[in-house]
Amino acid sequence: MANRGRPPILDPVKRREILAILSVGCSRATAADYVGCSVSTIQKTAERDPTFAEELRRAESRAEIALLQAIQRAAKKEQYWRAAAWALERTKPELFAPRRPQTITHRDLEKFLQALVDLLVEFLPDRSRKQFLKRLEALVASLGLPRKFLAPAGGKGRKDQKT
């Protein structure tokens, strides 16, 4: 029998331990520490073994589902209203998470940036406007932002664009 190289770091026992740890809501870092490996070892093993990758995904999902079910059960009891508030803060932070004073929402920032772009496009001379829009387009693409930042807010065509 040919030697197939060094044995895998994550033998079946360690894999089961990792899955058990993840299924109660612990992180991959905690699981890695417990079995004596690195998080990247877990990740690389999952990349090489699709079955293990699926088991990881399911274990992490099971933990999340169980915790949310517990919160929902508690939230149904009036004295545990904080559980419902906590769940809303985490699942819809843009609507329910507490904000520090003088913070702006993502939506407000988008509105501000769109208005700023519109002002710049309106007041820049033609030559500068074209350079600005070209650089803005590159910036938007590099950040993976939606192209809506390139369109005027009012829906009117820009002077440098054919409508």
Encode the chain (163 residues) as per-residue pLDDT tens digits. Answer: 455 666 778 999 999 999 999 999 899 999 999 999 999 999 999 999 999 999 999 999 998 888 888 888 888 888 888 888 888 888 788 778 888 888 887 788 888 888 888 888 888 888 888 888 888 888 888 887 777 766 665 544 444 444 3
Residue 48 vs residues 29, 43, 45, 53, 60: alpha-carbon distances, Å: 19, 9, 5, 8, 19
Q: Which residues contact 126 (CB under 8 A, 6 or more apart)?
A: 159, 160
Residue 2 has a pLDDT of 53
Question: CA distances (Å), 107 to each of 67, 111, 141, in order?
Answer: 30, 6, 19
Question: Which candidate, 19, 46, 44, places its Cα nearest to that of 34?
Answer: 19
Distance CA 87, CA 33 (A): 29
pTM score, whole prediction: 0.51
| Phi and psi torsions of 95, nearest 5° | -105, -35
